[in-house]
Amino acid sequence: QVQLVQSGAEVKKPGSSVKVSCKASGGTFSSYAISWVRQAPGQGLEWMGGIIPIFGTGNYAQKFQGRVTITADESTSTAYMELSSLRSEDTAVYYCARSHTPSIVGATTYPPLDYWGQGTLVTVSS
Min dist. Cβ of residue 126 to other proteins (A): 27
Alpha carbons 123 and 86: distance in angstroms, whole number: 10
- Find out whether 116 and 61 touch, Cβ atoms under 8 Å: no
State which residue, 29 or 38, has the beta carbon closest to other proteins.
38
- Find out whether 82 and 27 touch, Cβ atoms under 8 Å: no
Binding site for other proteins (CB under 8 A): 35, 37, 44-47, 49-50, 59-62, 95, 97, 100, 108-114, 116-119
Min dist. Cβ of residue 47 to other proteins (A): 4
Please tell me what DSSP assigns to residue 11. Answer: E
Min dist. Cβ of residue 14 to other proteins (A): 25
